[in-house]
């Protein structure tokens, strides 16, 4: 019995969490079947047909695209134009979006088209829903979009698959779309006028990636906070750097939330005995709430940017079937997503840098207040040939450096293209891809420093005295990675930890 919740596409707003649940297959997809919804969707396509009959002119239907809008397309070629559009855009390169990313892209495009302002048929929404419910995933190259006029090249692969062309991933294998459709008795769609443009001329790729990036970043904020608490214990840090009264005088809500979490982890109360013989820890402990708090305070407005884009009609032209208007504009421009992703990737990279500095303190016997060099757990007889986390720290440094290198904002690298019609573009998809890569690297840093911090707490010898929350994290880590007393290759354990981080397998804070 399938107990997954169903997320219904009915033209109403969806959330980042809705898209992420669909992308990770934790929710089913449903398309509204109410008569008024179907009528409202089909009315846009019927209005396009009426315009063709009465006026014989609609942008992207009886004209070329972009700078070619002055090229007239005779009526007997109109039906061929959508196929030509997705065909000549089939030039993407680079790696392919993975299954989770592709589901997010499909779900975001369906959300926008279900708004009812794109001039497509209800039948097209049904076919797009079928791809999601049957998990037939277009094979979409990651590279080739400048983020205006939307994600043309990536979304051309979706349009082509709906029409029965190109390749998909189905049941874990790359297969020809037509072969999969034939096997499942799915009829390929012959795209109507405006439908090719409606599918492609939007921000679904960058916005789908942004939804995934947001959720991963929110979890990384919590993970970095928990690691900071463990590092503070391992380094005999001053827990009163996170005092409630102290933080009340600088009222950033996210920053205060991070401090409260660390206070709880360290069991800091007004009545608890103070251990503040070292008045001021280094910044990577003392200022951790101020660093993590930047991301935590950014999340609400990042959500606003992403969810507004998610729930928008963002192709061109917009079809107002009720008022019988064709509205030409630039809603395909991904500037808000570009800014959100450029901002998010900087905040996340700062978490990697923070954790890298905490790792340096834990490793160096000049700064770790009595812990063994490199956090080695070897006996005195074996100490000279065991190296603890020495190589792991080098790897953490490498991952951090790569993350920091990628923070250069993509949005400022606008390139005039397409005969200077697209003379200012968003670069939103590149920004989102950069952000996901920085998240990937920072998660790697997080996994490694988590191992080191747990080792440090155990070497300090006071595991029984730490809070239940920290004990739970230590127990969790030790369920798949044992105490490092002699050198061993940690790759597979780190990969296992990474997989758990990326699926947000264990809760950290309420």
In this prediction, residue 193 carries a pLDDT of 81
- The three-state secondary structure class of 90 is coil
Which is it for strands 6-9 and 28-31: parallel, antiparallel or unpaired? parallel
Task: Give the Cα separation of 317 and 314 in Å (integer).
Answer: 9
The pLDDT value given to residue 440: 98
> Are the C-beta atoms of 58 and 199 separated by less than 8 Å?
no
pLDDT for residue 84: 87
Q: Return the pLDDT at 416.
A: 84
The whole-number pLDDT of residue 76 equals 65
Place of tokens 């309420």: 510
CA distance 491 to 297: 34
Q: Where are the alpha helices (DSSP H) in 235-324?
A: 244-248, 253-266, 283-286, 288-310
The β-bridge relationship of strands 325-327 and 318-320 is antiparallel
The rounded Cα 450 to chain-centroid distance in angstroms is: 22
Task: Identify the CATH class of 210-502.
Answer: mainly alpha
* Catalytic-role residue among 59, 157, 214, 509: 59
Active site residue 59: yes
Strands 325-327 and 6-9: unpaired
Which CATH fold topology does 6-202 show?
Answer: Fumarase C; Chain B, domain 1 (1.10.275)
Q: What is the pLDDT of residue 58?
A: 67
Task: Give the model's pLDDT for residue 286.
Answer: 96
**What pLDDT is stored for residue 81 in this prediction?**
80
Domains 6-202 and 210-502 share a fold: no
pLDDT per 10-residue tile (average), the chain, 510 residues: 90 98 98 98 91 68 55 68 89 97 98 96 98 98 91 96 98 98 97 90 97 98 98 95 96 98 89 65 96 98 98 92 88 95 98 98 94 88 86 98 97 84 86 98 98 97 93 96 96 97 89
The answer to whether 198 and 119 are in contact (CB under 8 A) is: yes
* Residue 285 to residue 227: CA distance in whole angstroms: 10
397-to-4, 390, 391 alpha-carbon distances in Å: 41, 11, 10
Annotated domain spans of the chain: 6-202, 210-502
Q: What is the pLDDT of residue 123?
A: 98
Omega before residue 311 within 30° of 0, cis:
no
pTM of the model: 0.95
Cβ-contact 425, 148 below 8 angstroms: yes
């Amino acid at each position: 019995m399938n107990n997954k919740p169903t997320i219904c596409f009915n033209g109403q707003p969806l959330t980042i969490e809705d898209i992420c649940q669909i992308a990770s297959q934790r929710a089913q997809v449903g398309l509204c079947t109410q008569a008024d919804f179907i009528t409202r969707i089909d009315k846009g396509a019927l209005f396009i047909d009426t315009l063709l009959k009465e006026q014989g002119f609609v942008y992207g239907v009886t004209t070329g695209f972009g700078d070619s809008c002055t090229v007239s397309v005779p009526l007997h070629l109109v039906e061929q134009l959508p196929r030509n559009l997705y065909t000549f855009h089939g030039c993407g390169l680079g790696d392919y979006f993975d299954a989770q990313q592709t589901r997010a892209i499909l779900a975001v495009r369906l959300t926008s088209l279900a708004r009812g302002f794109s001039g497509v048929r209800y039948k097209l929404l049904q076919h797009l829903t079928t791809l999601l419910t049957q998990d037939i995933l277009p094979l979409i190259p990651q590279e080739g979009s400048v983020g205006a006029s939307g994600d043309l090249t990536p979304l051309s692969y979706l349009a082509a698959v709906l029409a029965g062309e190109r390749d998909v991933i189905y049941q874990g294998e790359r297969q020809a779309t037509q072969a999969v459709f034939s096997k499942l008795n799915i009829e390929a769609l012959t795209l109507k006028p405006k439908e090719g443009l409606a599918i492609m001329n939007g921000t679904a790729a960058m916005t789908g990636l942004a939804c995934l990036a947001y959720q991963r970043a929110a979890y990384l904020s919590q993970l970095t906070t928990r690691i900071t608490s463990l590092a503070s214990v391992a380094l005999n840090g001053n827990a009163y750097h996170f005092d409630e009264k102290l933080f009340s005088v600088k009222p950033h809500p996210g920053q205060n939330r991070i401090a409260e979490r660390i206070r709880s982890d360290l069991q800091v109360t007004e009545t608890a005995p103070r251990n503040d013989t070292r008045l001021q820890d280094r910044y990577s402990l003392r200022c951790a709430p101020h660093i993590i708090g930047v991301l935590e305070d950014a999340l609400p407005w990042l959500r606003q940017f992403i969810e507004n884009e998610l729930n928008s009609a963002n192709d061109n032209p917009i079809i107002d079937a009720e008022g019988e208007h064709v509205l030409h504009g630039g809603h395909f421009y991904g500037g808000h997503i570009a800014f959100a992703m450029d901002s998010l990737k900087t905040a996340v990279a700062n978490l990697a840098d923070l954790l890298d500095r905490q790792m340096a303190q834990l490793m160096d016997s000049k700064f770790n207040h009595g812990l063994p060099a490199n956090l080695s757990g070897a006996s005195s007889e074996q100490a000279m040939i065991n190296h603890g986390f020495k190589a792991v720290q080098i790897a953490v440094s490498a991952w951090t450096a790569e993350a920091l290198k990628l923070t250069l904002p993509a949005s400022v690298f606008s390139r005039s293209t397409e005969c200077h019609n697209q003379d200012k573009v968003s670069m939103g998809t590149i920004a989102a891809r950069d952000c996901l890569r920085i998240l990937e690297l920072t998660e790697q840093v997080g996994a490694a420093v988590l191992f080191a911090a747990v080792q440090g707490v155990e070497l300090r010898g006071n595991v029984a005295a730490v809070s239940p929350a920290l004990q739970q994290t230590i127990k969790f880590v030790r369920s798949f990675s044992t105490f490092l007393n002699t050198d061993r290759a940690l790759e597979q354990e780190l990969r296992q930890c990474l997989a758990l981080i990326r699926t947000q397998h264990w809760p950290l804070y309420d």
